[in-house]
Structure 1
Amino acid sequence: MDSDRSERTHTQDTAGQRTDGGRADPATEAFVAHRNLLFTVAYEMLGSAADAEDVLQETWLRWADVDLGTVRDPRAYLVRITTRQTLTRLRTLGRRKESYVGTWLPEPLLTAPDVAEDVELADSVSMAMLMVMETLTPSERAVFVLRDVFAFDYDEIADAVGKSPAAVRQIAHRARSHVAARRPRGAVSATETREALDAFRRAVATGDVQGLLDILAPDAVLLGDGGGVKQAILRPVVGAGKVARLLIGGLSRVTGLSLRTAQVNARPALVIRVDDEIETVMAVRIDDGLITGLYAVRNPEKLSHMQQETTLRR
C-alpha cells in the first residue's frame, strides 16, 4: 500500500512539471485539465478509488510519451488511454474479487455538494448504480459509462474499447437494457433519501425496531464488506425483520457510537463512528420511498477517501 501511495504521489508531482517560463508544459496542462474527468470514468467502471488512481498513473505515463502534434482532441485521447487501462485493471480486479473474503462492495467517496447538482452524474456514481455496474461485463461497463454518462460518440468509444462502431451500438443497447432492469425504480431526490436516512438513523439510534421496519421494504437486503479485516456479515441478509434485528442488536452493544449523515457518492449516507473514528459507511438504495438495499462498507482500506472530498466531473 505504501509503495502504491508513493507511486501515485510521484505521478502527481511529475504531472506538476513546469517549463522554464513558469507554466506547465502542454502535456501536463491537458492532463491536469481533464484529470477529474479521467478519475470519474475509471472509478465508475472499477468501483475502486485506489484502482482508479493507479489507472490515472498509467494514463499519465503513456500520455507523457505521446506526440501532441498528432492529437486532435486531447480529452478524447486521454479518455481512450484511461478506458484501455481500466479494462486491463478490471481483469486484475476480477481475479482479486474471486478470493475476496465476503461480499465486495464499491469504495465509498466523500463527494462535494456540487456533484449532486448534476443529476445524471450523481445517479451514475451512487452506490446503488455502482452495484448494478458490477453485473455488466467489462466491455458493457466501458460502453455504458462512455455513452450514457459521458455522451461520447460511437466512433470514439469504438477506438477506446477496440471494437467496431456497429459492435459498440449493440453492446450499448444490451448494457442499457440490463441497467434499466436493475437500477432503482424511479428517480429519488436527495431530499427523499435524506428523509429516509434520518428515519433510519433515529430508529437505529433509539433501538426502535418498529420504526426501522416502517422504513425498510419487506424484501430489504443488507450487504456488508469487511474485506476479511473487520468483522462483517459474509452473506446478504434478506428481509426487513432480519435486517432490523441484526442492526439494532449489533449496534446497541457498541459504546462510543455516533451516527451522522454525509454526502457519499453524491447521495446522503450514514457514517458510523466509534470514538470518533470511522468504522462503517452505510449507503442506501431507495425504491418507492422505502429502503430496499443497505451497503455497509467496513474494510478500512476502502475508507481512506472519506477523509476529504473527492471531485468528480463529466
Structure 2
Amino acid sequence: MRLSDQRTADFTSERERLVRLSYRMLGSVSEAEDVVQDAWLRWAGTEDEIGAPAAYLTRIVTRLCLDRMKSARARRETYVGPWLPEPLVETADAYETIADDVTVTLMVALERLSPLERAAFLLHEVFDVALTEVAVVLDREPAAVRQLASRARKNVQTARQRYSVGAAEAERIARAFFAASRDGDVAALSALLARDVEIHSDGGGKVLAFRNVVRGVERALRLFVSAHRKALTPPTFLRTAIIDGLSGYVSLDPSGALQTTALGIRESKIFAIYIVKNPDKLTHIRV
C-alpha cells in the first residue's frame, strides 16, 4: 500500500474518535469538525513515517483544541444567559451503546476547569490515554499532569455520575415531560420533576430563553404553566433522541423555532433539563 493510501486509512479509522475528543474539548460540533479537518491537513502533509498514528493524531488534535480554547473562553465570558454545548444528537436507540460516559451535565461542569485540566481529564479519564502519553501531548512533566488530572477529577466527580435508567423508561419520561410541559399539566409535571430540578436554557441572546438557571420544582412549575398560557400555538414534538448521553427530544417551540431538550434522570425523576434554543448551535440538527 502506498504511504498516502495508508495515511488515509489510518486517519479514517481514527476520525470518529478525534471528532468526539475535539467536541468534548470545545463544546462545539462545528469547531470539532474544523479541528479534525486541520488535523487531516497536517497529517497528510507529514512526510516522515509515523509509528503510532493514533497517538500522533491525538497529540495534533489536542493541541489544536487548546489553541482554540483561548478564544472560546473569552466568548463564554460575554455570552448572554446560561451557556450549553452545541447538542450532540444521536438516535434514541443509541442510549445504551453510547461511545463514552460524557453527558451534558459533565460538559457543563468541565467549563469550570482550566484548558489543561480539561484536556488531562478527557484524555486520561474518558479516552483512556496513559498519563505518560498525556504528559507528552500537553508537553508537561508526568507529575504535573497527574496533579492536573487529579484536580479535574475532584472538581467534576459529582457531575460525572451516571444514573441507571433503561432506554424504554428514559424515552417514556421524555415523551411524558414534553406532553406535560406542552399542556401546562401541573399534576403530571409534579410527578416527573425532582424537588431540586434545574432548568438550563441557552438562547445566546438570539431567541427568548431563561436568562438564569431556574432552580427548584416550585419555580419550574410556575414557568411551565406561564409558558403554556402565553403560547399562541403549542410546541411540536419531532422525535426522541439521545443528546450528549441523556434521553431527550428535538422539537419546535410555539414560534416554530428548533430546539433540543436533554433530561437528566435519576430514580425516574427529572433532576436537570437542558434546553438549547440558540439557532447558531442547531444548524447541524436534522429536522
Same fold by TM-score, threshold 0.5 exceeded? Answer: yes
Separation in 2 of the partners of 1:277 and 1:236? Answer: 23
Map Cα deviations across residues 17-68 of structure 1 (whole Å, 9 max, x no partner). Answer: xx9x9x9633222222211110000111111111111211221222223234
Q: Does the CA-based 8 Å contact 2:194-2:217 persist in structure 1?
A: yes
One-letter amino acid matched to 1:105: L
Which of residues 212, 221, 225 is equivalent to 1:248?
A: 225
Q: Identify the residue that residue 213 of structure 2 maps to in structure 1.
A: 236
Gapped runs of 5+ residues in structure 1? 1-18, 309-314
Once the two structures are TM-superposed, the CA of residue 113 in structure 1 deviates from its matched residue by 5.4
Q: Identify the residue that residue 258 of structure 1 maps to in structure 2.
A: 236
1:200 matched to 2:180? The reply is no
- Tell me the TM-score normalized by structure 1: 0.82
Change (3 A) 1:101 1:274: closer
3-state SS of 1:107 partner? coil
Gapped runs of 5+ residues in structure 2? none
Q: Identify the residue that residue 30 of structure 2 maps to in structure 1.
A: 50
Change (3 A) 1:133 1:193: farther
Q: Does the CA-based 8 Å contact 2:109-2:156 persist in structure 1?
A: yes
Q: Does the CA-based 8 Å contact 1:108-1:305 persist in structure 2?
A: no
Separation in 1 of the partners of 2:223 and 2:255? Answer: 23
Q: Does the CA-based 8 Å contact 1:113-1:266 persist in structure 2?
A: no
1:35 matched to 2:15? The reply is yes
Change (3 A) 1:231 1:197: same
One-letter amino acid matched to 1:205: R
- Tell me the TM-score normalized by structure 2: 0.89
Q: Identify the residue that residue 278 of structure 2 maps to in structure 1.
A: 299
Change (3 A) 1:31 1:234: same
Change (3 A) 1:53 1:293: same
Once the two structures are TM-superposed, the CA of residue 94 in structure 1 deviates from its matched residue by 0.3
Q: Identify the residue that residue 83 of structure 1 maps to in structure 2.
A: 62
3-state SS of 2:51 partner? coil
One-letter amino acid matched to 1:164: E
Map Cα deviations across residues 250-282 of structure 1 (whole Å, 9 max, x no partner). Answer: 145141521242232243212221589552211
Q: Identify the residue that residue 190 of structure 1 maps to in structure 2.
A: 167
State the identity as a percent. Answer: 37
Which of residues 191, 194, 197 is equivalent to 1:214?
A: 191
Separation in 1 of the partners of 2:217 and 2:234? Answer: 26
Q: Does the CA-based 8 Å contact 1:110-1:265 persist in structure 2?
A: yes
Q: Identify the residue that residue 14 of structure 1 maps to in structure 2.
A: none
Map Cα deviations across residues 147-193 of structure 1 (whole Å, 9 max, x no partner). Answer: 11111111211111111122222222222222213334644443443
Change (3 A) 1:76 1:277: farther
Once the two structures are TM-superposed, the CA of residue 112 in structure 1 deviates from its matched residue by 4.2
Change (3 A) 1:137 1:192: farther
Which of residues 20, 42, 45 is equivalent to 1:65?
A: 45
Separation in 2 of the partners of 1:115 and 1:199? Answer: 20
One-letter amino acid matched to 1:250: A
Separation in 2 of the partners of 1:266 and 1:106? Answer: 13
1:284 matched to 2:276? The reply is no
One-letter amino acid matched to 2:236: S
Q: Which moves more between the two structures, 37-46 or 289-298?
A: 289-298
Q: Does the CA-based 8 Å contact 1:122-1:267 persist in structure 2?
A: no
Q: Does the CA-based 8 Å contact 1:282-1:295 persist in structure 2?
A: yes
Q: Does the CA-based 8 Å contact 2:214-2:220 persist in structure 1?
A: yes
Which of residues 231, 247, 267 is equivalent to 1:268?
A: 247
Change (3 A) 1:183 1:154: closer
Q: Which moves more between the two structures, 262-271 or 221-230?
A: 262-271
One-letter amino acid matched to 1:36: E
Q: Identify the residue that residue 93 of structure 1 maps to in structure 2.
A: 72
Q: Does the CA-based 8 Å contact 1:110-1:307 persist in structure 2?
A: no
3-state SS of 1:227 partner? coil
